[in-house]
Amino acid sequence: VYLLFQALRQISQRTINTASRRQYVNRVSENQKLFQEDNGLPVHLKGGAKDSLLYRATTGLTVFGTMYALYYLLVSSMPKKPN
């Protein structure tokens, strides 16, 4: 029983210890320099093209949703025509 327990413990430690670990690079200082740079851009656009695309898509969907809601508010306020 002791040998079985010891073998299981050794197998479990081996799989945990030898598992490949991703090495994360600390890029906080790079991002701080990017976002604190005074280049005239608002903070939500300093990330580059991805931020610009996300901003424009969000703005477009917001405008479309507002127009859609106003249209259905107008349609709902009109009385139905009798057949």
Q: Which residues contact 47 (CB under 8 A, 6 or more apart)?
A: 34
pLDDT band for position 62 (50/70/90)?
Answer: very high
Amino acid at 61: L
- Write out pLDDT tens, residues 3-35: 888 888 877 765 555 555 677 889 999 989 989
Residue found under tokens 């991703």: 22
Tell me the domains of the chain and their CATH numbers.
41-82 (4.10.91.10)
Q: Would you call 47 exposed, middle or buried from its count of C-beta atoms within 10 A (0-12, 13-18, 19+)?
A: middle
Q: Say what the pLDDT of residue 55 is.
A: 94
